[in-house]
Structure 1
Amino acid sequence: MNNIAKEYYGTRVLKGVDLCVKPGEIHALLGENGAGKSTLMNILFGMSVIHSTGGFEGDVLIDNEITHVKSPIEAMELGIGMVHQEFMLIPGYSITENIKLNREINKDNFINKFLGSKLKILDFKNMSKDARAALDTVGMDVDEWVKVAGLPVGYMQFIEIARELDKKNLKIIVFDEPTAVLTESEASRLLKAMKKIADSGIAILFITHRLEEVMEVADNITILRDGELVAKVKKQDTNPLELAELMVGRKIDGILNNTTSSIQNKSTILSIKNLTVHMPGEEVKGVNLDIKEGEILGIGGLAGQGKIGIANGVMGLYPASGEVYLKERELKLGDPKEALKNNLAFVSEDRRGTGLLLDSSIELNIVITAMHNQRKYIKNYGPFTQIKSKEIREYSLKMIKDLDIRCTGPTQITRRLSGGNQQKVCIARALTLEPTILFISEPTRGIDVGAKKLVLETLVKLNKELGMTIVMTSSELSELRSICNRIAIVTEGKIQGILKPDDSDANYGLMMAGNKLETLSKGVE
């Protein structure tokens, strides 16, 4: 890709970017959210959003020949595959049907011999064979005819990859944040599969924010910042800290210091008793947990063990039973309005599915919940109401500045923001409620190292300066240990135990594996 430039609605998002990838190479493409990575890949894959907004400048060459990719179908014909950050699967179809979609294998039958080829039938045997081969390449041991609906998100990611690998003329495949939804063991398996794919001669463009993965599998690295190419480096000539600093354009101080203030004398603000939550893939099976006023409580554990379900159950997004007390008052479960009315706020792990109005402006997303539930930013004229547009604009501009939301302005549609900036809008909306307790799930999933640090610093600031009680659920144990007072580990839908941030790695590992520390105290250290 030579001298690629692109403009969206008057904003230049790519400014003469070059990218060169060789057969059999794993090439990492790094940059903060909003750096231009996704736009560059959309150009390569011929996405309609590029051509419907004026096209692009520069040349794309495949096998040294200039190509004009006008659609994803043309991209696939040229041997380009893409595993998107957001899943593109059909839940009601089986794994095989999703893998072979639009590339089904047909066979003759006695009817079409007389009435024409349109009456051929599906060759399930050969389709199953192809799907099995693709699944084996990514190390996925699951029946190829299982329905996609209800499968864990990690399985869905591997199915997406298997679908691309089934394409026979594949030359280059783009992995856009493939490990963001995977557990550590699943991510490790995926990295092994990527090496195997590259060894077969297929080139891989690897977009990720996990720099340790880059150092493990990448051959070469290209770094973008604010739409510009800032560096091209070989893996052996760099390190994670240098890559992080190149991405954000400033020194990275490293992990935040642990929050060490004592919470032993603080009163319980929220008490959860025997909570069960029926959330697919994250069932909660009887959680008992006391949350102290003014603390940052972390909830950790392996994927699918139930940690995500706790906040979703308390906030009423999934059917739940048990008892939840805000100080002395019992809260009604299964009712999000009840939770909001009692000054609880929630930033969902599913920012696109439940966290945002994707086709509405940034400013409306920021204030919408407060407007509906607290009647903020609304003035009454008898039976009529009117939105306080000026106040909304002023407040939104302040939040955009405070959270460093990279956008063209408060009226920009949230769908057009990068994942990290969408996450910041979700946080801004929750903060607009001025909550007593903030539940926040997977706050740094899919966002870059600079944005991660900003989000974590914001949570610490809210806790220290406003006294806000924060319950943070995360798959990133290092982040929980960097800012939390206590960390509850969830295993098989229950609280396995509560650890301090500075407890040993061995204790964390044993507890996440389902072991009670009191039974393992001898020789653990």
Structure 2
Amino acid sequence: MKNISKQYGENAVLQGVSLSVKKGEIHALLGENGAGKSTLMNVLFGMPVIHSTGGFEGSVYLNGEETHILSPHDAMEKGIGMVHQEFMLLPGFTITENIKLNREICRPNPVSRILGKNLEGLDMKAMQADARTALDHVGMSIDENTLVQGLPVGYMQFVEIAREIDKTGVKLLVFDEPTAVLTESEAAQLISVMKKIAESGIAIIFITHRLDEVMAASNNITILRDGKLVATRETKNTSIREIAELMVGRKGESMAEVEPRPVPQGKVAMSIKDLHVDMPGERVNGLSLDVIEGEILGIGGLAGQGKLGISNGIMGLYEAEGEVTLFGEKLNIMDTREVLKAGMAMVSEDRKGVGLLLDRSIEDNIVFNSMQIKDEYLKKIGPFTLVDSKKVRQTAEEYIKSLDIRCFGPTQHSGTLSGGNQQKVCIAKALCTSPKFLFVSEPTRGIDIGAKKLVLETLVRLNRELGMTVVIISSELQELKSVSDRIAIVSEGKLVDILSPQASDADYGLAMSGIRPADHLEKEGTNA
């Protein structure tokens, strides 16, 4: 792939990226969330999202010849396969039926000989033999006639790989986070299978966030950052620390102007012990963490590693278990109303689905939780309870002024606001309950640079002027480093480490791939 550039509207998501993969090599493609890996693979697969948004610039070559990949089916015809992170299996079908789907082996019968091929029957024996060969190739002894439904997730991943191996003419396989759902032993087995596939002459692009696996499996590494090619390295000539630094290193100004300070040393505001949250795609697996009163704690990590599950679980939005105390009082994390009454508030990452009533006015949104939870902004007239419109209007106007919400007035529908102003309404709604503790998830997602700075500086002001304890959960590491006192990094639903905002990019890269920097240094020292 040569000089690939792609824009969505004004947003350049790839800028002149080149990627070269040799026959029979395992080539790791690395980068933080939003670095451009998925878009690059979408270009390679001819995904509809690329063609329907104006196509791309640059060229794709297969076996030295320029090619135009028009659709995923076209990509498969040309010998490009993909093992997806989300399983593409049919649960009600057997392993054999999944492996041979759309490539069934048929055999003629007396009726089909007269009325045509469409009436041929399936040659199950031949299909089962092919499936067995493919399963043996990936080291799976499971019966090929087993239903996919109910299989452990590790088995499903290997069935996905077996399906790709069974295809004829495969030249290139893309493995997208294939070990994310695997145990340590299954991941080791998968790397062994990948090496076997590569030895047969098939090229592999390996997308993962686990840097130790990159070192164990790959021959070469390409690293993207912010839609640009940062570096290509031979694996034998680099180290986990250098890769980590290249992945997350950035130059430029902080996103908010904040005076550094010592980490607050007060009492514990929130104590989380052995938290488990069943949030799809963001599961938390036994996380323990203390938040100090008066601090801004950042929580970072790659997408799907559990950071968003923490606040959603504690707020009772998903099934959760574990012990959470707020200022010494135990929280009932299965009851959102009780958590809000205890003095906690949350600005959700999903401002349109959870955070706002889009078809209601700004003022209605701001006072909604206070009205529901604390019976505020209401007045009694005889047996009737009415909304205190004057007080609602006054409060909304105060927040519009203090948070600089750009709007026509308090009665404007929140759904008509820009993303940055919607986010400020979400913050106003949370503040209106007078919380002692504030969770803010992905505070600047989808908003422009100017609005980002304003939102972050608002959170800092709340913390430093009002003494509010704030936890910011974000995929933007630079954002966290610009405002946090400490930053907790989460991987695979567990706390990996708590780092200073001044810690090196390499330390952050290691932690985000699930490795504690101190442990890595110790291991390097032992190896030396």
With normalisation by structure 2, the TM-score equals 0.61
Counterparts of residues 467-478 of structure 1 (less than 5 Å): 474-475=491-492
Q: What is the CA distance between 1:67 and its match in structure 2?
A: 1.1
Moved more, 119-128 or 167-176: 119-128
Determine if contact 2:3/2:58 at 8 Å carries over to the other structure: yes
* Structure 1 position 364 matched with structure 2 position 352: yes
1:339-373: CA deviation from partner (whole Å, max 9, x where unpaired): 566566899xxxxxxx976xxxxx5358339999x
Q: Secondary structure at the match of 1:376?
A: helix
Q: Secondary structure at the match of 2:41?
A: helix
Distance change >3 Å, CA 150–CA 408, structure 1 → 2: farther
Partner of residue 414, structure 2: 387
Moved more, 7-16 or 200-209: 7-16
Q: What is the CA distance between 1:106 and its match in structure 2?
A: 2.2
Q: Secondary structure at the match of 1:101?
A: coil
Distance change >3 Å, CA 269–CA 375, structure 1 → 2: same
Partner of residue 425, structure 1: none
Q: Secondary structure at the match of 1:479?
A: strand
Letter in 1 for 2:414: I
* Structure 1 position 169 matched with structure 2 position 169: yes
What is the aligned-residue identity percentage? 50
Q: Secondary structure at the match of 1:104?
A: coil
Determine if contact 1:7/1:56 at 8 Å carries over to the other structure: yes
1:23-45: CA deviation from partner (whole Å, max 9, x where unpaired): 10111122232222211111111
Q: What is the CA distance between 1:392 and its match in structure 2?
A: 6.6
Moved more, 206-215 or 93-102: 93-102
* Structure 1 position 43 matched with structure 2 position 54: no
Moved more, 66-75 or 131-140: 131-140
Distance change >3 Å, CA 219–CA 293, structure 1 → 2: closer
Distance change >3 Å, CA 388–CA 65, structure 1 → 2: closer
Partner of residue 222, structure 1: 222
Q: What is the CA distance between 1:68 and its match in structure 2?
A: 0.8
Distance change >3 Å, CA 266–CA 50, structure 1 → 2: same
Partner of residue 383, structure 2: none
Distance change >3 Å, CA 339–CA 159, structure 1 → 2: farther
Distance change >3 Å, CA 332–CA 396, structure 1 → 2: closer
1:195-223: CA deviation from partner (whole Å, max 9, x where unpaired): 11101110001122222222211111222
2: distance between equivalents of 1:18 and 1:283? 35
1:467-524: CA deviation from partner (whole Å, max 9, x where unpaired): xxx9x975376715769xxxxxxxxxxxxxxxxx99999xxxxxxxxxxxxxxxxxxx
Gaps of 5+ in 1: 252-260, 299-307, 348-354, 358-362, 411-430, 445-450, 465-469, 484-500, 506-525
Partner of residue 479, structure 1: 496
Determine if contact 1:366/1:396 at 8 Å carries over to the other structure: no
* Structure 1 position 3 matched with structure 2 position 20: no
Determine if contact 1:221/1:233 at 8 Å carries over to the other structure: yes
With normalisation by structure 1, the TM-score equals 0.62
* Structure 1 position 90 matched with structure 2 position 90: yes
Q: What is the CA distance between 1:2 and its match in structure 2?
A: 1.8
Determine if contact 1:137/1:193 at 8 Å carries over to the other structure: yes
1:311-357: CA deviation from partner (whole Å, max 9, x where unpaired): 9887656778999987898877865565566566899xxxxxxx976
Determine if contact 1:481/1:502 at 8 Å carries over to the other structure: no
2: distance between equivalents of 1:57 and 1:282? 34
Determine if contact 1:29/1:208 at 8 Å carries over to the other structure: yes
Distance change >3 Å, CA 473–CA 341, structure 1 → 2: farther
Determine if contact 1:346/1:438 at 8 Å carries over to the other structure: no
Counterparts of residues 22-61 of structure 1 (less than 5 Å): 22-61=22-61
Distance change >3 Å, CA 13–CA 329, structure 1 → 2: closer
1: distance between equivalents of 2:233 and 2:272? 51
2: distance between equivalents of 1:387 and 1:198? 53
Determine if contact 1:269/1:293 at 8 Å carries over to the other structure: yes
1: distance between equivalents of 2:310 and 2:445? 31
Gaps of 5+ in 2: 252-262, 300-307, 369-388, 394-410, 428-439, 450-459, 501-515, 521-528
Letter in 2 for 1:26: I
Moved more, 51-60 or 384-393: 384-393
Determine if contact 1:26/1:204 at 8 Å carries over to the other structure: yes
Determine if contact 2:282/2:493 at 8 Å carries over to the other structure: no
Partner of residue 396, structure 1: 423
Q: What is the CA distance between 1:57 and its match in structure 2?
A: 1.6
2: distance between equivalents of 1:120 and 1:70? 31
Letter in 2 for 1:475: E
Distance change >3 Å, CA 406–CA 327, structure 1 → 2: closer
Q: Secondary structure at the match of 1:188?
A: helix
Q: What is the CA distance between 1:101 and its match in structure 2?
A: 1.9
Determine if contact 2:283/2:493 at 8 Å carries over to the other structure: no
